[in-house]
Amino acid sequence: MVVIAAGTMVLDGRVRRPGWLETDGGRILAGGAGPPPRPADADFPNGTVVPGFIDMHVHGGGGASYTECDGITGAAEFHLRHGTTTTLASLVTTSPAELLTGVRALAEATRHGTVAGIHLEGPWLSRARCGAHDPAKMRDADPAEIDAVLDAGGGAIRMVTLAPELPGADQAIRRFLDAGVVVALGHTDASYEQAEHAIALGATVGTHLFNAMPPLHHREPGPALALLRHPGVTVELIADGVHVHPAVVRAVIGAAGPERVAVVTDAIAAAGRDDGAFHLGAVAIDVVSGVARVRGTSTIAGSTATMDRLFRAVNADAGLAVAAQTTSATPARALGLERVGSLRAGYDANLVVLDGDLRVTAVMAAGRWRVGASAAAG
């Protein structure tokens, strides 16, 4: 058993100063406010302990990509160092054969616990809102391809992003839901009514709200308003100050509530690397001043953010409890993940230790110190 104490701890959604928790066998046994019941094995009197971050939309990082079989472990380890203890690895639009190869590789990584599952962002997206996806490889939802992809995933596919206005989308939504896959709406040119129809069918997530979809207009509200106004929908926000203005982040959290907002990185391999040339799938990307764009265009191409950076951004506006909710508890609920997303008895011992500037100093995953173990032991 390990007892952890900290000057500040977010326990079961509440900020405790000080706080403590006890872990054993990879699970949290107990926790509470005040001093621990026995001397702490790891004490962070000037630190803040929060639930491990859950990134439900990320393509890579640290120079590695989830779209490349040999980059999966490197990308996951990079984000782990930044506090992400649960990763949903995202694939981009590609050919049918490449899609199956990518799904099989990530399904294997899921079985080994490297990632928590797969997010398919494409290929069933709108060419009009392709963003950094290859429009030449986008296609309508085909039942035979969907069945083949689900078979290749072997239960590892947890979420799929699609454009609900495409031919075959209704059938695709039903098929994915039957397979236990969360359906997200994104990279879409759908009308408000088409988005509402997809939500009625069972879509429950909005992929990077406002990005790669029509802007909200008072006569043609589009999918953004449909996603925002439905209480059963979780909306993703890339809160990096590039994809969405900080004032919009504040407004969305205020309107929808933090329990419906999941902060995501949408990070690509360039995260954690210097400016330069990269790829997202087959699409060439240039990163200048930390902003990724499709080569030769102004189109934003994912981000170079990490979850700890986004946690700091949300905390600056909304405080620790909201930052913890939007970076952990909300994505866990949206994906139907059990025993993660909060520091409470019976949950996995996934946590992040932050210093006075809210920068990562230690990370525990499943009860094991994965980052900063020597500091924690001291």
* Residue 301 marked in a binding site: yes
Taking the CA of residue 282 as centre, how many other CA atoms within 13 Å lie in the half-sphere pointing to its CB?
10
Point out the catalytic residue in the list 43, 134, 189, 266.
Answer: 266
Which contacts (CB < 8 Å, 24+ apart) does range 271-278 have? 271/60, 271/61, 271/62, 271/78, 271/79, 271/303, 271/304, 271/305, 271/306, 272/61, 272/62, 272/63, 272/78, 272/82, 272/304, 272/306, 273/62, 273/63, 273/304
CA distance 176 to 268: 26
* Residue 212 marked in a binding site: yes
* Residue 121 marked in a binding site: yes
Name the residue among 364, 240, 272, 264 with its Cα closest to residue 74: 272
39 burial type by CB count under 10 A (0-12 exposed, 13-18 middle, 19+ buried): exposed
- DSSP letter at 328 equals I
Does the bond joining 123 to the residue before it have cis omega, within 30 degrees of 0?
Answer: yes
Decide if 266 is catalytic.
yes
CA distance 271 to 64: 9
* Residue 350 marked in a binding site: no
Structure tokens at 88: 């949903």
What is the longest distance spanned by two Cα atoms in the chain? 62
* Residue 218 marked in a binding site: no
Angle between helices 96-111 and 143-153 (to 10 degrees): 30
* Residue 219 marked in a binding site: yes
* Residue 211 marked in a binding site: yes
Q: Please list, in sequence order, all residues whose beta carbon lies within 8 angstroms of the beta carbon of residue 73, skipping any fewer than 6 positions away.
A: 64, 109, 114
Give me the DSSP letters along 213-268: SPPP-SS--HHHHHHHH-TT-EEEE--SSSSS-HHHHHHHHHHH-GGGEEE---B-
Binding-site annotation, residues for Zn(2+)? 121, 187, 208
Which residues are marked as active site? 266
Binding-site annotation, residues? 121, 132, 187, 208, 211-212, 219, 243, 300-302
